[in-house]
A and B are shown apart, each in its own frame.
Chain A
Amino acid sequence: MSSAPEPSAFSAALSAAFARHEQDVPVAAALRPAIAAGVRKRRTRRRWTLSGAVAFVLALAGSMPLALPDRVVPPVHTESLLAAGSPDVGNFLLLGTDRRPEAAGDTVRADAILVLHVDADTRTVYQLSIPRDLLVEVPGFGTQQVGTAFVFGGYELTSRIVGNLLGVQIDGGAVVDFAGMQRVTEAVGGVDLCVDQQTVSIHLGYDQSTEGVVPLRSGMQPVIYEPGCRHFAGWQALDYVRQRQSLANGVEDRDAHVRQYLAALARQLADPVKLAKALPVAGSAIDLHLDDMSLPMLAGMLAGFDHSRVPGLKLPVGHDRTLLPSGDGLVGALHDGTVPAWAAAHPQYVG
């Protein structure tokens, strides 16, 4: 022992204080069943992480050709991984935050919230948008917008709340900010998007002297995205998906833009060369909550899924900004793994 000498009476009193409380120590045997149960549950979660991870990269990184070269990514057999899970669904949470590097220290909210629901039967990944202004109960903080829950407890609390809301277990997920997604998008050379309505940027404008695009100041001509399909550079795509004030239905339309953007990114990443460029960038730009999985491992499991489409779903929300009772059947469908049938029966929520 290299303890510095202390007045012995004081250290003795300290040791005595500890010793007195040994009577409070629970019996270890009582804890062992809980640990064993937790380990079993964690193993199940990990298995789900493996199969459901497909969802995350699919929606983030999108369609992955079957011919992904084995030398790039370790070969992993999705079939067997999926077979290991009993219910053939997985749910992943993707949080896009409004963190801006220039505003360090500001409160960070979850601006875009998506549940990526994997349906292994149809090999489809659904993107379910949770409106950021949906009202939910946050324990200890009362009724709050779901996007604000991120302020109180980050990814963990948000995933707990979204999981409770939908009655599903969130198997993993990722947090990314706009700058991170912009870097990923730039790494794949931009995306092809179809603008559905005129969208006016409140963030970017044209500098009158240089005609370059700069952060918007008053009196400046803002960047405007006119309807029609074209190629978007990374900065354009991310500026476009941030905008909601000029949209007819605000957040709802903005969330549709986010889903269109993710689907477009997925199509870009069908190209293995682009995927290879994106993975290292994604690794640094995205905060993954997937235990020990790495992005290349995830990418290796993509083969076998329907790469041609990543359907979007709107959350059934009432006028009071809360989830409709049972989510108009969605909660049951998520639980039973019958989302494809639900989507077919509820076209108003698809798109």
Chain B
Amino acid sequence: MTFEEFVEARLQALLRYAVMLTGDPHTAQDLVQETMIRAQVKWRRIAAASVPEHYVKRMLTNAYIDLHRGSWLRRVVLRAELPDQLGPPPVADHAEVSADRDQMWLWLARLPRRQRAALVLRYYESLSDVEIAEVLDCAIGTVRSLISRALVTLRAEVVPELIGDVR
């Protein structure tokens, strides 16, 4: 598969994945753009991977996880303003909360990035734990613990009636 074929076939899917990761279309676009440029440079290595898309997803995920960690520049350049520890989202009155179907989305933004990535890969991309481990470059046990910790947080925070789950 050539780089051009890959772009043709997978770019839209990668953009979707990036939006789910970052929660922001602009950041997603910048992230995908930068990742694809880097992917082109090392395309031969990527094409040789068993699943090239997983390789690129891993690059994208790492770029997302590193967004805020080391590089202040990246945060500014990529315009993402989602510091790791924000505290709870602004408290809204009950009617507003109920109206806000995006409460889940807000809490997703407050999860540690690897946890969010693991959730996206499972509940949006429907990957298996083995595949998630490949993308996140970690052990399968780590995948499971990332997901279970993320779910514990979300369950504790997301208003139950919104999702009709009374635990």
Give A residues with C-beta under 8 Å from B.
1-4, 6-7, 9-22, 24-28, 31-32, 34-35, 38-39, 42, 46, 139-140, 152-154, 156-157, 160, 291
A26 touches B28 (CB 8 A): yes
Option from A6, A22, A38, A139 in Cβ contact (under 8 Å) with B37: A38
Could you give 29 example pairs across A and B, Cβ below 8 Å? A4-B147, A7-B167, A9-B164, A9-B165, A10-B165, A13-B163, A14-B104, A16-B104, A18-B120, A21-B23, A22-B16, A24-B19, A25-B16, A25-B19, A25-B28, A28-B11, A31-B29, A31-B33, A31-B36, A32-B7, A35-B33, A39-B40, A46-B41, A140-B76, A152-B72, A153-B72, A153-B73, A154-B73, A156-B74
Q: How far is the CA of A152 from the CA of B105 in the complex (A)?
A: 30
**Chain A CB within 10 Å — which of B7, B15, B37, B126 has the most?**
B37
Q: How far is the CA of A160 from the CA of B28 in the complex (A)?
A: 22
Question: Across the two chains, which residue of chain B brings its CB closest to A24?
Answer: B25
| B96-147 residues at the A interface, CB under 8 angstroms | 101-102, 104-105, 108, 119-120, 122-124, 126, 128-130, 144, 147
A13 touches B104 (CB 8 A): yes
B interface, size bucket: 35 or more
Residues of B within 8 A of A27 (CB): 12
B73 touches A157 (CB 8 A): yes
A26 touches B29 (CB 8 A): yes
A31 touches B155 (CB 8 A): no
Cβ of B78 < 8 Å from any Cβ of A? no
Residues of A within 8 A of B122 (CB): 3
Q: How far is the CB of B59 from chain A (nearest CB, A)?
A: 14
Q: How far is the CB of B151 from chain A (nearest CB, A)?
A: 7
Cβ of B162 < 8 Å from any Cβ of A? yes
Q: How far is the CA of A322 from the CA of B13 in the complex (A)?
A: 47
A10 touches B15 (CB 8 A): no
B128 touches A1 (CB 8 A): yes
Give B residues with C-beta under 8 Å from A.
7, 11-12, 15-16, 19-20, 23, 25, 28-29, 32-34, 36-38, 40-41, 70-74, 76, 101-102, 104-105, 108, 119-120, 122-124, 126, 128-130, 144, 147-148, 151, 154-155, 158, 162-165, 167
B102 touches A17 (CB 8 A): yes
Question: Across the two chains, which residue of chain A brings its CB closest to B12?
Answer: A28
Residues of A within 8 A of B16 (CB): 22, 25
B162 touches A13 (CB 8 A): yes
Residues of B within 8 A of A291 (CB): 41
Q: How far is the CA of A69 from the CA of B80 in the complex (A)?
A: 50
A25 touches B15 (CB 8 A): yes
A4 touches B154 (CB 8 A): no
Q: How far is the CA of A40 from the CA of B70 in the complex (A)?
A: 27
Q: How far is the CB of A15 from chain B (nearest CB, A)?
A: 5
With A13-B163, A32-B11, A35-B37: A3-B129 Cβ-Cβ less than 8 Å: yes
Residues of A within 8 A of B76 (CB): 139-140
A9 touches B163 (CB 8 A): yes
A154 touches B151 (CB 8 A): no
Q: How far is the CB of B145 from chain A (nearest CB, A)?
A: 11
With A6-B151, A15-B124, A46-B41: A156-B71 Cβ-Cβ less than 8 Å: yes
A21 touches B20 (CB 8 A): yes
Question: Across the two chains, which residue of chain A brings its CB closest to B72?
Answer: A153
A28 touches B15 (CB 8 A): yes
Residues of B within 8 A of A24 (CB): 19, 25
B104 touches A157 (CB 8 A): no
Question: Across the two chains, which residue of chain B brings its CB closest to A9?
Answer: B165
Option from B15, B123, B151 in Cβ contact (under 8 Å) with A15: B123
Residues of B within 8 A of A2 (CB): 128-130
B104 touches A31 (CB 8 A): no
A18 touches B123 (CB 8 A): yes
